[in-house]
Amino acid sequence: MRVHICAVGRLKSSPEKALIDDYVQRFERSGRALGLTALTLTEVEDKKGGGMEAEAALLTRALPKGATLVCLDERGKLVSSPDFAARLAGWRDSGSQDVGFVIGGADGIAPSLRAKADFSLSFGKMVWPHMLARVMLSEQLYRAASILAGAPYHRV
């Protein structure tokens, strides 16, 4: 199963980008044997200033057709890392070829896109900058792969 992170905004060379690149590389190394074949980051930018709906259209186009859609949203479900790993494995085992995690821009994700989500995930009641949300998501994806592989990275 391919994993996609689709996010609003461009991430320039920064400490956040270095962290994301590191976790993506770790995920791909440990996930390959688990049937998690790739982790890609796609960035979209609404240059016309169309707001959340325009961003939603760009995010939707960036996702592969038929992908399991996961929105990162403060109103989403709080899950533990082992539960997140189990959910990722469940999508893989149910035959999903792609899962797409969507991170909105400054105003969040348009209600129309949130309504289409197969799952909404929250990293807590606090709102996080979208650049940090990318880091946190890429780390949790790597952690999930480590949990599924039985590696010692995750400790209870």
Sorted by where each begins, the domain ranges of the chain are 2-149
Please list the ranges in the chain whose pLDDT falls under 70. Answer: 156
21: CB partners within 8 A, 6+ apart: none
Q: Is 99 left (phi over 0), alpha (psi -120 to 50) or beta?
A: beta
Question: Looking at the domain that runs over 2-149, which CATH code has it been given?
Answer: 3.40.1280.10
pLDDT of residue 128: 87
pLDDT of residue 156: 60
Q: Which phi and psi angles does 30 have, rounded to 5°?
A: -85, -25
Encoded tokens for 49: 């200033």
